[in-house]
Amino acid sequence: MKNTFLIVLIFSVGFCFSQKSKEVSFLFMGDIMGHGPQIRSAWQESSKEYDYDEVFKPLKELIGSVDFAVANLEVTLAGKPYDGYPQFSSPDNLAVACKENGIDVLVTANNHSCDRGSKGVIKTVKTLDKLSILHTGTFSDDKKRDSLNLLILSKNGIKVGLLNYTYGTNGMPFATPSYVNLLDSALIKKDVLKAKENEIDKLIVFVHWGAEYKDFPNQYQKQYNKYFKELGVDVVIGSHPHVIQPMIYENDSTNNTEFLTAYSLGNFVSNQRERRKDGGVMLRLSFSKTKKEIKISNKEYLLTWVHKFKEAGKNHYQILPCAHPLYSKSYFSNEKDFEAMNTFIKDSREHLNVSNQELSEGIPQPRILIEPHPPEKIKLTIKRRKVLALTKEKNRRKRLKPNKK
């Protein structure tokens, strides 16, 4: 009897193990901008170098908790003179901070790819190569473009392909040998068919498109999105509008296919402070694979808000996860900043709760977020506030205490 039970147990365990799915996780972020005030804020007089670490620090553990974190680098790394709009060139240390805080992949095809001409395109790509940061969308050599175009991200026996395109480059052309992937239906079809020859499990297209500051996709986006779906693309991630647009998940059980679109993730970090432009969403999802199929799982969005504050006459920037309790009212030295973040949260939830399809908001887990590190003066300000609040409460209780005489 014992032997029979042991055999059944071994069979059951073996069967469960064989049915267990493999998984690979992704986190997608929107536009990484580099406006003039951001560049100036990164300059550290003490070390005589640029440092962007504090910008990404509040999200470091969250970004690092997935297998692949992907963001849109909407600047060139073309060297000096460093400047923001309209022709962006940021210090290389912006990319260094991205890598050190967990971002694995930077897509580079966007309307600012050619801001510093073909030389800027080439230098940006070479800088990312030097830093060992994965990338696609722009290329230093058009002859090598075919072999470098499809970026394959592989883990746990799952192969995911990534392609990147932009609607244009602000009228600034690129010249041989540099190359920028433009939205062109014939080119995209050729790329997708070639990608599928690599026996990938899923295909993602990160695309720069749409009208700036519009909450909903235009007809141009919808038409191209339909085209991506017809070609067999699995996930489409959008950027460029600098505000959040809807996320749509479609599951066709009849044909056993699924299709996910995030029309615009908004700004990941920028100097834009107007309502709706001061934050964005991160899209987190996983691909789960069994012997029978591979499906999108654990799909959700996470709201982020750019905290811009002044300390000792200098601007500072931090990307904050909105839903985390660390960033309550007591965290902010200026109450108006807390109110602005809450306005962004309210606007975003009202928009997405109505417009999204099958994608809801996730909550960053406290265990994967580190304690933020604002400047020392802000830490002291928060501490003084707490002491003052305790003192006021003690004085209030004394006043309310009945007189025994």
The reply to whether 333 falls in a domain is yes
Of the CA atoms within 13 Å of residue 160, those in its CB half-sphere come to 29
Mean pLDDT of 24-28: 98
Check whether 372 has a pLDDT greater than 60.
no
Q: What is the pLDDT of residues 111-143, one digit of tens each?
A: 999 999 999 999 999 999 999 999 999 999 988
CB under 8 Å to 187, separation ≥6 — which residues? 181
Residue 44 is predicted with a pLDDT of 96
The reply to whether 9 falls in a domain is no
The reply to whether 378 falls in a domain is no
| Strands annotated E in 101-254 | 105-107, 134-136, 138-139, 151-155, 158-166, 179-180, 202-208, 235-239, 244-252
Q: How far apart are CA 161 and CA 155, in angstroms?
A: 12
pLDDT band at 260 (very low <50, low <70, confident <90, very high): very high
pLDDT band at 394 (very low <50, low <70, confident <90, very high): low
The reply to whether 376 falls in a domain is no
What domain range is 180 assigned to? 23-370
Of the candidates 244, 302, 327, the residue with the CA atom closest to the CA atom of residue 65: 302
Residue 365 is predicted with a pLDDT of 66
Q: How far apart are CA 393 and CA 385, in angstroms?
A: 12
The reply to whether 3 falls in a domain is no
Residue 277 is predicted with a pLDDT of 98
pLDDT band at 274 (very low <50, low <70, confident <90, very high): very high
Count of domains for the chain: 1
The reply to whether 140 falls in a domain is yes
CATH number at residue 323: 3.60.21.10
Residue 312 is predicted with a pLDDT of 86
Q: Is the separation of the CB atoms in 94 and 127 below 8 Å?
A: no
Check whether 206 has a pLDDT greater than 60.
yes
The reply to whether 45 falls in a domain is yes
Place of tokens 């999200």: 59
Q: Indicate the average pLDDT of the chain.
A: 89
Q: Is the separation of the CB atoms in 362 and 284 below 8 Å?
A: yes
Q: Is the separation of the CB atoms in 131 and 95 below 8 Å?
A: yes
Of the candidates 103, 116, 164, 167, the residue with the CA atom closest to the CA atom of residue 139: 164
Q: DSSP string spanning 98-128?
A: HHHTT--EEE--STTTTTTHHHHHHHHHHHH
Check whether 70 has a pLDDT greater than 80.
yes
Q: How far apart are CA 361 and CA 244, in angstroms?
A: 13
The reply to whether 384 falls in a domain is no
Question: Residue 303 in 3-state DSSP?
Answer: strand
Check whether 252 has a pLDDT greater than 60.
yes
CB under 8 Å to 362, separation ≥6 — which residues? 284, 300, 301, 302, 323
> 103 forms bridges with which residues in the sheet?
none
pLDDT band at 395 (very low <50, low <70, confident <90, very high): low
- N-terminal to C-terminal alpha carbon distance within the chain: 84
- Angle, helices 219-231 vs 185-196, to 10°: value is 30
